[in-house]
Amino acid sequence: MHHPQGTPAPPLRNPQITFDSLVPTVMTLITFILLFGGEP
């Protein structure tokens, strides 16, 4: 089975994009934890 060049590249090609996308998510999670965890 040949994969045509029109198919999207695997996510492993640019792992940095995934890391950059996770940074704001982690920061938001930390902020929520501090807000809900700090105030009873």
12 secondary structure, DSSP code: G
- Which residue bears the tokens 């704001």? 24
- Using 50, 70 and 90 to split pLDDT, how confident is the model at 34? very high
Q: How far is CA 20 from the centre of its chain?
A: 6
10: tokens are 């695997």
- Decide if pLDDT at 7 tops 70: no
Give, in order, the Cα–Cα distances in Å from 22 to each of 1, 4, 15, 28. Answer: 34, 30, 11, 10
pTM attached to this predicted model: 0.44
5 secondary structure, DSSP code: T
